[in-house]
Amino acid sequence: MESGNPTEQLIRNLYPPIEPYSTGFLKVSDVHTIYWEQSGNPDGHPVVFLHGGPGGGTSSSNRRFFDPEFYRIILFDQRGAGKSTPHACLENNTTWDLIDDIEKLREHFKIPEWQVFGGSWGSTLALAYSESHPDKVTGLVLRGIFLLRKKEIDWFYEGGAAAIYPDAWEPFRDLIPEKERESFITAYHGRLNSEDLEIQYAAARAWTKWEMMTAHLLPNDENIKRGDDDYFSLAFARIENHYFVNKGFFPSDSFLLDNVDKIRHINTTIVQGRYDVCCPMMSAWDLHKAFPEADFKVVPNAGHSANEPGIAAELVAANEKLKSLTKKNKP
């Protein structure tokens, strides 16, 4: 299933690895300092990459979705994630703080408007940012749609996805005593905020491994091993859980869908893996129904990860399409 123009004529292969031409840190509050980097063409069309999790941080492979001759590629680690400091910090760490940080970054670089690219939690943040600042967004590429509604959280963290991955679910479940299993999100919240760092690490490893074991259609050992990295896992699990306990800090369950009218004019592509277990296709479908103007690409042989070949190809093609539109609209 797809809507919109065919993309066969567009480039669909990842671009070669590149290094940043500048990196730095921006102090965004009394508590938080965020890491940023720029790569590609310093005079190119700016695009900001919004990573997943929340708490996942960026990686060098994220640069490869974009033509480095056309795009000025801006990556940053959200509060508490990656190289941003303080690590795994939950203080003053909300969706609205992150939206303010994106604006501070845009103003820091003196960029009047930019393209926004985000997958998984990055799609949540991209929608929230664009709906808050629609005049600052030239185009949107969204992948693995996550609207942070209760039914999505319940599906993945309260036993729904266990029907497909019972083997991966059991270690996540078994860390929590039976008497606390009424809400795994709440039970993990207590452990991820324990005064005992070892309890935090054990919970973070279990939480992270569950997600990493379910993120690809075919198991990806390299991805699963990230669950053994205590430094990565602590930020990933603590920040994710903090946002989910707080329902994304949104005023209502359907907030992102309710505000789609604000972004209807923005050229948008939605890319969704048919067999995404982390962010099932129901959310991409709901967004598609609310926002039929957006191109909707369902990848038939993929799960959740942006690094799966079919999804990566559609993401590159979506950027190529926006590149083409930007070139046409330039005076």
What confidence tens digit (pLDDT) does each residue in 86-112 have?
999 999 999 999 999 999 999 999 999
What does the pLDDT average to over 240-248? 98
Same domain as 254, residue 242? no
What does the pLDDT average to over 275-295? 98
Q: Does the pLDDT value for residue 3 go beyond 70? A: no
Instruction: Look at residues 233, 248, 263 and tell me which one is the last residue of a structural domain.
Output: 248
Angle (CA) 155-144-135 rounded to 5° is 120
Q: Does the pLDDT value for residue 8 go beyond 50? A: no
Tokens representing residue 178 in the block? 């039976």
pLDDT above 90 covers a percentage of the chain that reads: 92
Could you tell me which residues come within 8 angstroms of residue 293 by beta carbon, excluding any fewer than 6 positions away?
A: 264, 268
Give 224's pLDDT tier (boundaries 50, 70, 90): confident
Same domain as 205, residue 88? no
Same domain as 76, residue 225? no
Instruction: Look at residues 248, 264, 290 and tell me which one is the last residue of a structural domain.
Output: 248
Beta bridge partners of 139: 115
What's the pLDDT at 222? 82
Residue 92's identity, in one-letter code, is: N
- For 179-199, the pLDDT digits (tens) are 999 999 999 999 999 999 999
298 within a domain of the structure (yes/no): yes
Give 7's pLDDT tier (boundaries 50, 70, 90): very low
Same domain as 271, residue 144? yes
1 within a domain of the structure (yes/no): no
Pairwise CA distance, residues 239 & 227, whole Å: 15
Same domain as 120, residue 44? yes
Q: Does the pLDDT value for residue 5 go beyond 80? A: no
Q: Tell me if 324 sits within 8 A of 19, measured CB to CB.
A: no
- For 110-152, the pLDDT digits (tens) are 999 999 999 999 999 999 999 999 999 999 999 999 999 999 9
Eight-state DSSP code of residue 327:
H
Q: Does the pLDDT value for residue 84 go beyond 90? A: yes
Pairwise CA distance, residues 59 & 34, whole Å: 15
What's the pLDDT at 156? 98
DSSP character string of 177-243: -GGGTT-HHHHHHHHHT-SSHHHHHHHHHHHHHHHHHHSSSS--HHHHGGGG-HHHHHHHHHHHHHH
What's the pLDDT at 310? 97
What does the pLDDT average to over 318-330? 93
Query: What's the mean per-residue pLDDT of the chain?
Result: 95
Total structural domains in the chain?
2
Same domain as 296, residue 262? yes
7 within a domain of the structure (yes/no): no
Give 9's pLDDT tier (boundaries 50, 70, 90): confident
What does the pLDDT average to over 35-53? 98
Same domain as 110, residue 166? no
Angle (CA) 184-186-187 rounded to 5° is 60
What does the pLDDT average to over 206-220? 93
320 within a domain of the structure (yes/no): yes
Whether 304 is catalytic is yes
Pairwise CA distance, residues 220 & 304, whole Å: 12
Same domain as 195, residue 93? no
Same domain as 143, residue 52? yes
Q: Which of these, 145, 143, 144, lies nearest to 316 by C-alpha position? A: 143
Give 329's pLDDT tier (boundaries 50, 70, 90): confident
122 within a domain of the structure (yes/no): yes
pLDDT above 70 covers a percentage of the chain that reads: 97
Q: Which of 45, 276, 295, 305 is catalytic?
A: 276
Q: Does the pLDDT value for residue 322 go beyond 70? A: yes
Same domain as 263, residue 142? yes
What's the pLDDT at 275? 98
17 within a domain of the structure (yes/no): no
Give the domain CATH number at 316. Answer: 3.40.50.1820
128 within a domain of the structure (yes/no): yes
Same domain as 158, residue 140? no
Q: Which of 39, 120, 130, 305 is catalytic?
A: 120
Determine how many CB atoms are found less than 10 A away from the CB of residue 101.
21
- For 262-274, the pLDDT digits (tens) are 999 999 999 999 9
Same domain as 167, residue 125? no
Instruction: Look at residues 188, 215, 248 and tell me which one is the last residue of a structural domain.
Output: 248
What's the pLDDT at 252? 98
Q: Which of 32, 189, 216, 304 is catalytic?
A: 304
10 within a domain of the structure (yes/no): no
Run of H or E including 321: helix 309-329
Give 1's pLDDT tier (boundaries 50, 70, 90): low
Range of the domain at 235: 151-248
Whether 286 is catalytic is no
- 268-273/137-143 β-pairing: parallel
Whether 253 is catalytic is no
Eight-state DSSP code of residue 292:
T
